[in-house]
């Protein structure tokens, strides 16, 4: 299996001074590494796959869509404001280097559908928390969350604090 994690590149002071940015684009650019990374994310969910993967814009779209194909389920976009054409629900949040809002279509999934929330990086945890609350407000049953990389010192897992499991393919 490819050591995809060795391809993650550290970029200091991006997007702001003091932030060490973990850049996953070299993993995505390498076919064997990309496939191995998605397989690692899929492994915990293969036995009981979700009805849908909800990917968080924008890096969560790349991994979430690949994971949905791998797990043979649907894909739901959780988007930044003003991008979805239908009626939406909206939720504000703070992340490691700023604040933003997320939106989801009111009819994104049927009530009670089993949804897995997916993103590339768990940092302070605000993004994943907001996406999960938004999907629950929409009527989804969030069965868990799945990230490629968990930045352990930033404490996102404490913020998660949820009965649904949070899986990370790599701890840094």
Ligand X SMILES: Nc1ncnc2[nH]cnc12
Ligand Y SMILES: O=P(O)(O)OC[C@H]1O[C@H](OP(=O)(O)OP(=O)(O)O)[C@H](O)[C@@H]1O
> Is 150 a residue of the active site?
no
Report if residue 62 touches ligand Y, rule: CB under 6 A. no
Q: How many other C-beta atoms are found inside a 10 Å radius of the C-beta of residue 108?
A: 24
Q: What angle do CA 160, 49, 2 make, to 5 degrees?
A: 80
Q: Binding partner of residue 53 among ligand X, ligand Y, none, CB under 5 to 8 Å per kind?
A: none
Among 123, 134, 166, 170, binds ligand X (CB under 6 A): 123
Q: Binding partner of residue 56 among ligand X, ligand Y, none, CB under 5 to 8 Å per kind?
A: ligand Y
Q: Quote the strand ranges of the chain, DSSP E.
A: 9-12, 20-23, 52-56, 74-78, 88-95, 98-105, 114-122, 141-150, 166-171
Closest separation between CB of residue 141 and ligand X, Å?
A: 26
Report if residue 124 touches ligand Y, rule: CB under 6 A. yes
- Asked if residues 155 and 161 have their Cβ atoms less than 8 Å apart, the reply is no
The distance of Cα 68 from the centroid of its chain, to the nearest Å, equals: 12
> Is 96 a residue of the active site?
yes
Report if residue 119 touches ligand Y, rule: CB under 6 A. yes
- Asked if residues 86 and 104 have their Cβ atoms less than 8 Å apart, the reply is no
DSSP 160-172: H--SS-EEEEEE-
For tokens 């907001």, the residue is 130
Report if residue 122 touches ligand Y, rule: CB under 6 A. yes
Among 14, 58, 106, 165, binds ligand Y (CB under 6 A): 58
Stretch that binds ligand X, among 18-26, 35-43, 136-144, 161-169 (CB under 6 A): 18-26
Stretch that binds ligand Y, among 26-34, 47-55, 68-76, 92-100 (CB under 6 A): 92-100
The catalytic residue positions are 59, 96
Kindly list the residues in this chain that would bind ligand X in the complex (CB under 6 A): 19-22, 95-96, 121, 123, 151
């Amino acid at each position: 299996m490819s050591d995809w994690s060795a391809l993650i590149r550290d970029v200091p002071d991006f997007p702001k001074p003091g932030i060490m940015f973990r850049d996953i684009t070299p993993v995505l650019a390498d076919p064997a590494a990309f496939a191995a990374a998605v397989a690692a994310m899929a492994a915990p969910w293969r036995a009981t796959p979700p009805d849908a993967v909800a990917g968080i814009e924008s890096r969560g779209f790349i991994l979430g869509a690949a994971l949905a194909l791998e797990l043979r389920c649907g894909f739901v976009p959780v988007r930044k404001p003003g991008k979805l054409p239908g009626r939406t629900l909206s939720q504000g949040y703070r992340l490691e280097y700023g604040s933003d809002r997320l939106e989801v279509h009111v009819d994104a999934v049927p009530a009670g559908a089993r949804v897995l929330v997916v993103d590339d990086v768990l940092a302070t945890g605000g993004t994943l928390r907001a996406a999960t609350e938004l999907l629950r407000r929409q009527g989804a049953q969030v069965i868990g969350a799945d990230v490629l990389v968990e930045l352990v010192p930033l404490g996102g897992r404490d913020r998660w604090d949820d009965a649904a499991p949070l899986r990370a393919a790599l701890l840094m």
